[in-house]
Structure 1
Amino acid sequence: MKNILITIAYTGTKFHGYQDQPGLRTVEGTIKEALEKVFHEKIKLHSAGRTDAGVHALGQLANFKCHCKIDLGNLPKVINYHLPEDVSVILAQEVDMDFHSRYRAKRKHYRYKIYNERNRNGLYANRMAHCGYPLDVERMKRALMKIQGEHNFAAFEGRDASPANPVRTIDKIEIRQEGSHIIADFYGMSFLKNQIRIIMGTAMEIGRGLKEEDALYKATLTGKREDLGHTADPSGLYLMEIEYL
């Protein structure tokens, strides 16, 4: 018996999110089905995190225990044979039997990408959010810096989200512009449902001058969703990496 940790990359456009849901096409369900075809046994998959419908990943992690005789260097190729083109296993490694990808995780890195030109570009369809108005990135940066650290993000919860505690700590936020691309990186232990998308939707409105520079910070104090902007498109969000410090 081995405990195997796999790194998963996927395009979230055609999935109903990551988490397994009976009757729906999900990343977790698709991976489990492929693993059971490979190992001919029931697989219990422990995933480090979950993403919503339309959100992508380059570094999702999950572990499972099985009787594996396949060389781990070749295992991704074997699993990928049973997977559709929009999801793949890019790495497989053996971990200790007590390892759990979710409970051992210490920090997650998410990235949000914006294509900032007047007209949309078909090359980036479902890969980046599009904003057709000029954005003041320095203004967005100042706004984002104010919500680093520990805050009550109750106003930033997605619909139907009801965590026991909406207090979250954002360790670091970085934002930069590379030509027509604006890239924002978020680092933290955990995030609320739609939290980053609501932050970025509001940040874009701040960048356009439609909201005050301190709108994000004020919402952490008032707890009112109406103080914030729109929820940004899921196509711009990527789970980049999960760290085990």
Structure 2
Amino acid sequence: MRIAIGVEYAGNAFEGWQTQPHGRTVQDALETALRKIAQAPVQLVCAGRTDTGVHATSQVAHFDTTARRPLEAWVRGVNSHLPASVGVQWAVEVDETFHARFSAESRRYRYVLLSRRVRPALLGGRVGWTHGALDVVAMDEAARCLIGEHDFTSFRAAECQARSPIRSMHAVEVARQGDVVVFDFHANAFLHHMIRNLVGSLVYVGLGRRPVGWMAEVLAARNRTIAAPTFAPDGLYLCGVEYPQRWPLPGGGRIIAPPQLLLP
């Protein structure tokens, strides 16, 4: 049978999602724990392979198994074999047509940026940081040009393996909460480093290094070299994956809303 699971993890405790020979990835930790419950090898497929340092509040993955276990065994049982930095939140049985990656209709990411004079200590590795004053209104205005279907080559990593740079951005919002600036992105899919590159360029606008209209110029240029450098992964969270309603995932298989992150 096929099991879908929802996972949260602190990305700064791992070297990315995808399995590696050294075994220090989220996938490696989960597959090791799942194998102990299934008493057989288990291979996971996820909705989005996050990079080193990138967190998740709502990652979705699936695996196939012949082991018959109560669904709670795939949650509490698996969690008993996992480090504190990663945990399974739910598990549901789905049919064989479900695919964590290819069945997903859209993804939601949030970037949390601390904007203050001194670097974070307690939140180190969990938020991005800039010491310069940011014009959030200008950043939000600059981000509006990203909504719609576009060629995002200017914000794509050189090593990106996606066949096409075309993506549909459903919504972008930049807002301030005290010393924290929150960037929310909702799209059908994202390119490698796309959000970190978008945040880096939006921060340039917020710092006054570039005008609001520059963002649209960079997007239209389809040239990675004219955009800002890639921003740090620390504040990036995969906050939800949306699927058609026919699968019994939590929330009706629709929006898994990002939780309110506890920040000063």
User: Same fold per TM (> 0.5)?
Assistant: yes
- The alpha carbon displacement at 1:74 in A equals 4.4
Pair 1:62-2:65 in alignment:
no
Give the gaps of 5 or more residues in structure 2: 245-264
CA distance in 2, matches of 1:49, 1:119: 33
Q: Gapped runs of 5+ residues in structure 1?
A: none
Q: 1:203 offset after TM fit, Å? A: 0.5
Preserved CA contact (<8 Å) 2:23 2:29: no
- CA 1:33/1:143 → structure 2, altered by over 3 Å: closer, same or farther? same
User: May I ask how many residue pairs the two structures share in their alignment?
Assistant: 244
Q: Aligned pair 1:234/2:233, yes or no?
A: yes
Q: RMSD value over aligned CA atoms? A: 1.4
C-alpha distance in structure 1 between counterparts of 2:238 and 2:10, whole Å: 11
- Opposite residue 7 of structure 1, the aligned amino acid is G
Q: 1:162 to 1:7 in 2, by over 3 A?
A: closer
State the match for 2:193 in structure 1: 194
Answering whether residue 142 of structure 2 is matched by residue 150 of structure 1, we say no
2 CA distance for matches of 1:241 and 1:211? Answer: 31
Structure 1 vs Structure 2: percent identity of aligned residues? 34
Q: What is the CA-CA distance between 1:164 and the residue it aligns to?
A: 2.3
The residue number in structure 1 matching 2:259 is none
SS of aligned partner of 1:124:
coil
1:162, distance to aligned residue in structure 2 (A): 4.2
**CA deviation string 1:183-208 (max 9, x = no partner):** 11100111110010010011111001
Residue 65 of structure 1 and its aligned partner are, at CA, apart by 1.8
CA shift for structure 1 position 91:
0.8
Corresponding residue for residue 41 of structure 1: 40
TM-score (normalizing by structure 1): 0.95
2:126 maps to a residue whose letter is R
| Contact map agreement 1:9 1:57 (CA 8 A) in 2 | yes
The match for 2:255 is none
- The residue number in structure 2 matching 1:170 is 169
TM normalised by structure 2 equals 0.88
For the Cα contact (< 8 Å) 1:53–1:234, is it kept in 2?
yes
Q: Contact conserved, 1:215 with 1:227, CA < 8 A, in 2?
A: no
